[in-house]
Amino acid sequence: MYERILVPTDGSKVAEAAVEHAIDIAERYGADVHAIFVADTDAIAYGLGTEQVDRIRQGQFEGMTELREDAEEATGYVTDAAEAAGLTAYERHAGGQPHRLIADYAEDNDIDLVVIGSHGRSGVRRALLGSVTERVLRSTHVPVLVVDYEPDD
Helices (H), 85-121: 98-108
Domain presence at residue 115? yes
Contact 90/33 with Cβ under 8 angstroms? Answer: yes
More confident residue, 67 or 30: 30
Confidence of residue 29 (pLDDT cuts 50, 70, 90): very high
The count of domains in the chain is 1
Indicate the range of 6-20, 43-57, 133-147 predicted with least confidence.
Answer: 43-57
Domain presence at residue 10? yes
145, with CB counted inside 10 A (0-12, 13-18, 19+), is middle
Backbone angles phi, psi at 137, to 5 degrees: -55, -35
Domain presence at residue 75? yes
pLDDT digit string, tens, across residues 86-104: 999 999 999 889 999 999 9
CA distance 152 to 77: 20
- Give the three-class secondary structure for 87: coil
Domain presence at residue 59? yes
Domain that holds residue 87: 4-147
Confidence of residue 73 (pLDDT cuts 50, 70, 90): very high
How confident is the model at residue 132, as a pLDDT?
A: 85
CA distance 98 to 42: 9
Any idea what the CATH number is for the domain that residue 36 is in? 3.40.50.620
How confident is the model at residue 126, as a pLDDT?
A: 42
CA distance 7 to 116: 6
Look at residue 127 and tell me whether its pLDDT is greater than 60: no
CA distance 33 to 64: 27
How confident is the model at residue 128, as a pLDDT?
A: 41
Domain presence at residue 92? yes
Per the DSSP assignment, residues forming a β-bridge with 37 are: 93
Mean pLDDT of the chain: 84
pLDDT digit string, tens, across residues 44-72: 655 555 666 566 656 666 556 778 888 99
Domain presence at residue 135? yes
More confident residue, 88 or 131: 88
135, with CB counted inside 10 A (0-12, 13-18, 19+), is middle
